[in-house]
Amino acid sequence: MSEYRRVTRSVKHDKRQKQKRKILFFFGLSILFLILFISLLLFGNKGNPQEAEIESSENEEEHTEETGEADSEEANSEDANTSDETLIEEIEENEESDIIIEEIESNDENVITAFKGDWDPVGTEQEGPHTTTYEDGSDDRLEIRRALVMVTGIKESDMIEHWIGRGGDQEVIATVSDHAQEDYYRVYLRWVDDEGWQPTKADKLKHHP
């Protein structure tokens, strides 16, 4: 009988030990999973730096595209206003020198703005009956060039004379631009005896005709 009790106790002891091992084992697994879960939450992005870098790059590209579109719209708006602002500045400069500039209508599709003013003749050293000479370096060409500077605002050193020709009896039409060929003008002039060439009107052009 005592031997049977010892065997029973031994069996019960073994069962308790096995249960303890199972409890410890599952407890250890729970702790391990908990640690892994916390690690993923804390270090998930660091664990995949390429993915984080790709997301950052995509965000930067989107921002760049949006900025580029905004800059492009702003640049187009500025370009559309450049011609008008330039003309306004020229008009204001002429107003300071008591020259009245008036915008006029034009049916020419190549004309951005047409205007006329009460410009004075530029002066001349020529005397007697006048015959226009179109040769380079002649008095007429030099005096016409001075008149063109006065009307267009283009500096003489920066001016290209694309065409200067007869516009009528004692009248000349000249087409000029700056060296960058960004601003084109067509200017109409008439000869005034003993006073020189006088601009009568001008067109700001889109391009060389």
2 falls in which pLDDT band (50, 70, 90)?
very low
Between 57 and 2, name the one with better pLDDT.
57
> What is the rounded CA–CA span in Å between residue 148 and residue 9?
124
pLDDT tens, position by position, 50-81: 544 545 555 555 555 555 555 555 555 455 45
Q: What is the pLDDT of residues 87-121, one digit of tens each?
A: 555 544 544 457 889 999 999 999 999 999 999 99
Helix (H) or strand (E) holding 177: strand 171-178
Q: Which residue has the tokens 């020189």?
A: 196
What confidence score (pLDDT) does residue 195 get? 96
172 in Cβ contact with 132 (< 8 Å):
yes
Please report, as a single letter, which amino acid is at residue 136: D
